[in-house]
Amino acid sequence: MQFRTLGRTGLKASEIGFGTWGMGGGSEWRGGDDAESRKALRRAFELGINFYDTALAYGAGHSETLLGEFAREVGRDEILVASKIPPKNREWPARCGVKIYETFPRDYIRTSTEATLKNLRTDYIDVHQLHVWQDHWLEEPGWMEELCQLKKEGKIRFIGVSVNDHDPESAILVAQHKLADLVQVIYNIFDPTAENALFPLCKEYNIGVIARCPFDEGGLTGKVRPGVAFPNGDWRNDYFSGDRPKQVDEHVQRLLPLVGECAKSLPEMALRFCLSTPVVSTVIPGMRKVTHVESNVTASDGTLLPAALLAELKTHAWPRNFYL
């Protein structure tokens, strides 16, 4: 496992991090198993993963609880934990024009943080993020003042922002004002748009980048084809509804000829695509099984994709938003 510095925080994070949304279960994910999730967490640690991303909204805190159990098992100071404060109005993504008092009022930021600390059974969170973002919230300083106070109290170490789905432009000002130590943003072969304006600012101001959705919610694993089925109640039935599996498969088939010596599978190529961008600090594929962990860590061996292949992959960008 290779490690990178999380921007100006100075923290050393594994290039492959552990995304825990799926293991939260709850009303969104089906087919998970806590015992298997625990095994996956342990195996990840054995293979060098030290960065774990969770959120209070993942299974109404269940993901945090499982992660907290694991942290006590291996030693809290042995891992880096990033979590997120859900918007009070429970709207993902944040609507343009919505007021900060509807999403992150000061008292709510504190109570949510205390809930996360309780779930994790820890005294501190390494990276605490707002789970949605809009740049016009910079006009209302209360959210930042409260996060800074929590930082002063030692309850959080660094402040992050989770950027709205497929909208990296919505976080340009928070990067320019250097208020966030880290940003978490969608970045993958199909959606590389964070490269256009956000990544140059992150490089200039030494802001850490957490790349999420490297597999495009499963599309870049090669397993989404016409007729694909997910368990009843699983949110992916909506994400891949209608003819979307056919669309995904058509785009994936065009990518498959590029798999070769530089990456032995489509998922490996998807992860190496992210890691071949130096501004990316860590990539957080969602993982619930030991097999996921063992497959994903192979992408972190210091080998970057050659420039010619990266240029070819950039031609496969596919602008769309299946979350809507």
- Spatial contact of 43 and 293, defined as CB atoms under 8 Å apart: yes
Q: Please, what are the domains in the chain? A: 3-314 (3.20.20.100)
pTM of the model: 0.97
- Output DSSP code: residue 169: G
Q: Parallel, antiparallel, or unpaired: how do β-strands 3-5 and 12-14 relate?
A: antiparallel
Amino acid (one-letter) located at 138: L
Q: Which two tokens stand for residue 20?
A: 């825990």
Query: Closest by alpha carbon to 227, among 246, 254, 214, 209?
Result: 246
Residue with tokens 């990178």: 4
> Residue-wise over 137-168: b if at least 16 C-beta within 10 A, else e?
beeeeebbebbeebbeeebbbbbbbbbbbbbb
Task: List the chain pLDDT tens, one digit each, 324 residues.
Answer: 999 999 999 999 999 999 999 998 766 767 678 999 999 999 999 999 999 999 999 999 999 999 999 999 999 999 999 999 999 999 999 998 999 999 999 999 999 999 999 999 999 999 999 999 999 999 988 999 999 999 999 999 999 999 999 999 999 999 999 999 999 999 999 999 999 999 999 999 999 999 999 999 999 999 999 999 888 888 899 999 999 999 999 999 999 999 998 899 999 999 999 999 999 999 999 999 999 999 999 999 999 999 999 999 999 999 999 998
Q: Which two tokens stand for residue 71?
A: 């942290």
d(CA 324, CA 320): 9
Q: Which two tokens stand for residue 101?
A: 């008092």
Q: Which two tokens stand for residue 290?
A: 């030991």
d(CA 135, CA 29): 30
d(CA 283, CA 305): 15
Q: Which two tokens stand for residue 249?
A: 């498969």
